[in-house]
């Protein structure tokens, strides 16, 4: 996954600032934890009544740095350990279910345990009950093509995706995350769409937000469209959008009139 912090790319070509790798994310968490701990000690009544000497303060700093180093090593070990799960998917080690896309493409081998642990919907699909038997060999996700399905499974195993796959499949993944109730993927897609919002994709983001009932994303996209009406509304894409989703066109019109009214008052 490309990272806006440690990427080797030139600064102007780096991904959005909210795109960071797992190592940088955990490093940021460690820094925040250090600051919070420092603030807690600083304002503690017990510590205030007995102000530490400079030597004691330095000793505390050294201790904190050592703790952060140990935490970093532990997190790196954990990331490496969890990475073996991704390798099991990539190398198809002991897979026990075939996941089929909806376009008659080839199925992708996966593990029942992973699917069931990441989505309650998948768990129900794979479980048996008094009315149905558990699927023996395959399940089908009809709304996804083969590449989209591959990206979904890769995310379930690794928790991230290369930027090129995100840009290509973020809308399909967002819909799948909503349908199969995968909150982490929902939040991941929301962050990506918010970070890349532009006049060329704002209508698509608004449509996806409406389909997925994501009010935060919908409000942001709607406000962006209102602020860039001239660049968005007078385009062939908006004409097709209005025919496809007339209810959203009405919402855009109403939001635009409210914005004009507020600016006049």
Domain span holding position 34 = 1-7+18-84
Instruction: Flag the least confident range among 100-104, 214-218, 253-257.
Output: 100-104
pLDDT band (50, 70, 90) for residue 74:
confident
Q: Is residue 261 part of a domain?
A: no
Q: Is residue 26 part of a domain?
A: yes
pLDDT of residue 180: 96
Residue 146 in 3-state DSSP? helix
Instruction: Flag the least confident range among 8-17, 36-45, 85-94, 141-150.
Output: 8-17
Q: Is residue 132 part of a domain?
A: no
Instruction: Find the mean pLDDT for residues 75-84.
Output: 70
pLDDT band (50, 70, 90) for residue 12:
very low
Sign of the C-alpha dihedral computed for residues 149, 155, 158 and 164 taken in this order: positive
Q: Which residues pair with 97 in a beta bridge?
A: 110
Q: Is residue 63 part of a domain?
A: yes
Interatomic CA distance for residues 206 and 134, integer angstroms: 37
Residue with the bigger pLDDT between 120 and 43: it is 120
Cβ contact 17:4 at 8 Å = yes
Q: Is residue 1 part of a domain?
A: yes
Q: Is residue 188 part of a domain?
A: no
Cβ contact 7:17 at 8 Å = no
Residue with the bigger pLDDT between 245 and 63: it is 245
pLDDT of residue 210 exceeding 50: yes
Q: Is residue 144 part of a domain?
A: no
pLDDT of residue 48 exceeding 50: no
Total domain count for the chain?
A: 1
């Amino acid at each position: 996954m490309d990272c806006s912090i440690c990427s080797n790319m030139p600064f102007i070509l780096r991904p959005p600032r909210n795109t960071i790798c797992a190592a940088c994310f955990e490093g940021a968490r460690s820094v925040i934890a250090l600051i919070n701990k420092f603030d807690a000690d600083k304002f503690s009544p017990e510590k205030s009544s007995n102000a530490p000497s400079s030597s004691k303060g330095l000793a505390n700093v050294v201790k904190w740095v050592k703790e952060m180093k140990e935490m970093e090593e532990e997190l790196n070990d954990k990331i490496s350990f969890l990475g073996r799960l991704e390798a099991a998917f990539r190398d198809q080690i002991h897979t026990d279910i075939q996941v089929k896309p909806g376009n008659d493409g080839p199925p992708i081998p996966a593990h029942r345990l992973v699917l069931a642990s990441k989505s309650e919907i998948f768990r129900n699909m794979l479980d048996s009950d008094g009315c149905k038997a558990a699927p023996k060999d395959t399940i089908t996700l009809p709304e996804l093509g083969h590449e989209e399905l591959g990206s979904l499974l890769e995310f379930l195993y690794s928790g991230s995706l290369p930027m090129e796959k995100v840009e290509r499949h973020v809308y399909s993944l967002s819909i799948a995350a909503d349908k199969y109730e995968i909150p982490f993927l929902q939040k991941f897609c929301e962050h990506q769409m918010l970070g890349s919002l532009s006049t060329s994709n704002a209508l698509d983001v608004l449509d996806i937000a409406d389909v997925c009932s994501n009010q935060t994303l919908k409000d942001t996209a709607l406000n962006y469209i209102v602020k860039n009406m001239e660049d968005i509304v007078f385009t062939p894409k908006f004409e097709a959008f209005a025919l496809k989703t007339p209810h959203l066109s009405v919402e855009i019109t109403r939001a635009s009139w409210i914005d004009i009214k507020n600016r006049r008052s």
